[in-house]
Chains A and B, each alone.
Chain A
Amino acid sequence: DTAVSQTPKYLVTQMGNDKSIKCEQNLGHDTMYWYKQDSKKFLKIMFSYNNKELIINETVPNRFSPKSPDKAHLNLHINSLELGDSAVYFCASSPRGQRYEQYFGPGTRLTVT
């Protein structure tokens, strides 16, 4: 059984479009995250939710909006996509915060043309 799943795995779209990436975890974890990995493979946290409540919101453009309908899901919606948004986006979860082991999804490779 997949612990943390993301859809889609690949997303190719044009500048200006709006797109969403979905994440689901079946581990019963309280905390979920979105990370961005740029072309130099550097990972950076974007958002963190604990029990559907936003607890970390890094300096991410307002075009990025996370939504957590329940504690097993954390979706990422991106408006007005730009070339610089091209990256791999990883969802992750942990039992309760950053002091616990993190479980990563397979990543979504977003390419904006």
Chain B
Amino acid sequence: KNEVEQSPQNLTAQEGEFITINCSYSVGISALHWLQQHPGGGIVSLFMLSSGKKKHGRLIATINIQEKHSSLHITASHPRDSAVYICAATPRGSEKLVFGKGMKLTVNP
């Protein structure tokens, strides 16, 4: 079992919908990252958080350290949000980044 699990693995939504992507992890962590991989292959870091909540435009990331869970929310989704969203965690005491398998999001117009 991977230390970082994401659900769902695939999601199709209609433009304008509110989307939630979940990530759970099984070890203590010092940081959690949300990454976006575009259909062309490039990877962009969306958020890095260790507690609470961060917001950037239509994206919101939250983390619950006690429950070992993080969510990425997309408000007013748009077809350009179609991408693979990857959760990754830095285990406490480690310099290693452990990745989830990613969630492929398709937003239809």
Contact = CB atoms under 8 A, between A and B. Distances in A.
A45 B42 contact: no
Contact of A56 (B37, B44, B84, B96): B96
A107 B42 CA distance: 7
Contacts of B27: none
B31 A99 contact: yes
Given A40-B101, A99-B90, A104 B45 contact: yes
Chain B interface extent, by class: 20 to 34
Contacts, number: 61
B41 interface: yes
B34 to A, nearest CB: 10
A88 interface: yes
A106 B45 contact: no
Given A41-B84, A41-B102, A102 B97 contact: yes
Given A55-B95, A58-B96, A99-B31, A41 B101 contact: yes
29 contacts: A40-B101, A41-B102, A42-B99, A42-B102, A44-B99, A45-B96, A45-B97, A45-B98, A48-B95, A50-B95, A56-B95, A88-B41, A98-B30, A98-B31, A98-B90, A98-B96, A98-B97, A99-B30, A99-B48, A99-B90, A101-B33, A102-B45, A104-B35, A104-B42, A104-B45, A106-B41, A107-B41, A107-B42, A107-B43
Interface of B: 30-31, 33, 35, 37, 41-45, 48, 50, 84, 86, 88, 90, 94-99, 101-102
